[in-house]
């Protein structure tokens, strides 16, 4: 896949597995919904959840973007994430956003 095909694959889907390092034991993986904001991938979570705390400790995360069709297709995205608490970044919710830097261009 070219970089543009990878970006389009991520834009066309909304479900991914969010992987992050835990303080103890192995990595954690959670199925989440996401939206695109330009080249950024936004994942909404609450400040007290493990995802936000883990990103604050270590911004290295991975996303496995999944196609919902059979046979399954997926795309791995590796990126640095950040937790945003800016009221404008919240898009009207009380959640925090986990924003990837660069998005699928780094896939």
Please tell me the predicted confidence (pLDDT) of residue 23.
86
Fold classified for 3-88: Pnp Oxidase; Chain A (2.30.110)
Please tell me the predicted confidence (pLDDT) of residue 17.
95
pLDDT tens digits along 65-102 = 999 888 889 999 999 998 887 656 555 444 444 444 44
- For the entire predicted model, the pTM comes to 0.76
> Phi and psi at residue 46, in whole multiples of 5°?
-85, 150
Q: Where are the domains of the chain?
A: 3-88
pLDDT tens digits along 23-69 = 888 899 999 999 998 888 988 888 788 888 899 999 999 999 999 88
Please tell me the predicted confidence (pLDDT) of residue 33.
92
Q: How far apart are CA 101 and CA 89, in angstroms?
A: 14
**Which secondary-structure segment (H or E) carries 5?**
helix 3-12
């Amino acid at each position: 896949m070219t970089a543009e095909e990878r970006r389009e694959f991520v834009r066309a889907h909304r479900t991914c597995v969010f992987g992050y390092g835990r303080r103890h034991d192995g990595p954690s993986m959670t199925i989440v919904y996401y939206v695109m904001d330009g080249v950024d991938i936004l994942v909404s979570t609450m400040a007290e959840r493990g995802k936000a705390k883990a990103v604050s400790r270590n911004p290295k995360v991975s996303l496995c973007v999944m196609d919902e069709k059979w046979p399954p297709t997926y795309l791995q995205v590796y990126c640095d994430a950040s937790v945003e608490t800016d009221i404008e970044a919240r898009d009207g919710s009380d959640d925090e956003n986990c924003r990837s830097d660069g998005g699928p261009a780094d896939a």
